[in-house]
Amino acid sequence: YPDTAELFVKEKQKYVSRGGLKIEGAHKQFGFDLDGAICLDIGSSTGGFTDFMLQHGATKVYAVDCGTNQLHYRLRSDPRVVVMENTNARYLTEEDLPEKADFCSIDTSFISLKLILPPLKQLIKPGGRIVSLIKPQFEAGKDQVGKGGVVRDPAIREEVVEKIKQFGTRELGFKWLELCTSPITGPAGNVEFLAYWEV
């Protein structure tokens, strides 16, 4: 390289995965407090959300995922993290958690939130908060999802969000607090949303 070549130092990643940036965006928008919180991370995967929670004061995080060996080693070996692999969140019961959570995040794929949200009534303290990622590509009808699994029509995305909102408030009695667009798009550029609820 020539002596005049410009060098750039790559910024250190804040979280173990880019998922952390999604919940960071929700935190900036909604302003929830995780200090001393017992948290539930549904669809933990590599652990971006779990990492964010720990960095923002959570005392314990139950990391739930139907996969195996996905959670980053640093989190897997953290005593504040309870690893719950091979666990399908739609079948979670009070027996699975020794305590109720103050806060829950949901970032799941290939399943509707209508199947994930119901068990949370028993798993989260009254007044507890939920941040759920709404992914139109997994909520819309097959005829509404375009080529490559992308929902391009804003009207369909809006319809999906409204259906989830109505389900959570009417069927489950959750309080819908706020909504924002995820700072990161999903695979293939899908626009995704972060919904903020109170149990």
pLDDT, tens digit, 9 for 90 and up, residues 69-92: 999 999 999 999 999 999 999 999
Q: Please state, in angstroms and rounded to a whole number, the distance separating the CA atoms of residues 199 and 197.
A: 7
Q: Where are the domains of the chain?
A: 19-198
Q: Is the pLDDT of residue 17 over 90?
A: yes
To the nearest whole number, what is the mean pLDDT of the chain?
94
pLDDT of residue 9: 60
Buried b (16+ CB within 10 A) or exposed e, 89-110: bbebeeeebeeebbbbbbbbee
Q: Is the pLDDT of residue 28 over 90?
A: yes
- Superfamily name and number for 19-198: Vaccinia Virus protein VP39 (3.40.50.150)
Q: Is the pLDDT of residue 3 over 80?
A: no
**pLDDT tens per residue, range 92-135:** 999 999 999 999 999 999 999 999 999 999 999 999 999 999 99
